[in-house]
Structure 1
């Protein structure tokens, strides 16, 4: 995989620029916003934070933002730790980082990394709008 492909991240929850926290600030100081967009999926309220899963239904969308990460090896190491991914965390991890197809609002399709929820969604409340900030 090229370094360029490895450097895009789609965020839909606590890493969004309108969410005021340390990790959101960290991301914005190490990335360039490429635009708003979506991927085909379902969004759920896990707790004070959301979790998203992939969907094959193109009418189900999770909305968020795409960033181009500067220094991806460093930034993803920090974000993986924030998302509870890695050898230090018990399995199954709460999230998994996966490369998926996302779409910018201007119609451009782009491969991005996204943190997908990696637990059961059975008892979770779905955020039907697909937008964490509007729920």
Structure 2
């Protein structure tokens, strides 16, 4: 059975990040592990955006949570990330299922919000870690 209740976060939803939605996530999910996925991290504005990569040297670091009450919690998180099914314009982020790596290198299927626009004019966060840029 495929578990679809894990979420990888790398920006304003990180554990201990000082934001309302980070606190919401901590109340509605269980912290599993630090981890990473193959991708590139960019500074979009006061928040980051990540895109997927197939290059194993390009990593985005963050936290993996096990979501409680997936339907309710993902609805609120999708709203926060600006994902609207009836959007007239493309959404800034999309929620996709990826292979994430836990700190012990175990692979886990996890949702992640990836940036959905061009990154051409964005500053890359080379460390892959939003809190250590």
Q: TM-score, normalised by structure 2?
A: 0.96
Aligned Cα root-mean-square deviation (Å): 1.1
Aligned to 1:121: 119
Q: CA deviation at 1:91?
A: 2.2
Aligned to 1:133: 131
Q: CA deviation at 1:86?
A: 1.4
Q: CA deviation at 1:107?
A: 1.1
Q: CA deviation at 1:93?
A: 0.3
Aligned to 1:12: 10
Q: Of the candidates 74, 78, 81, which is equivalent to residue 79 of structure 2? A: 81
**Gapped regions of structure 2 (runs ≥ 5):** none
Distance in 2 of aligned mates of 1:27 and 1:84: 16
Distance in 2 of aligned mates of 1:90 and 1:124: 24
Q: TM-score, normalised by structure 1?
A: 0.95
What is the SS of the residue equivalent to 1:13? coil
**Gapped regions of structure 1 (runs ≥ 5):** none
Q: Of the candidates 79, 90, 96, which is equivalent to residue 98 of structure 1? A: 96
What is the SS of the residue equivalent to 1:6? coil
What is the SS of the residue equivalent to 2:23? helix
Q: CA deviation at 1:88?
A: 5.2
- Aligned pairs, how many? 133
The 3 A distance-change label for structure 1 pair 22 and 89 is farther
Aligned to 1:58: 56
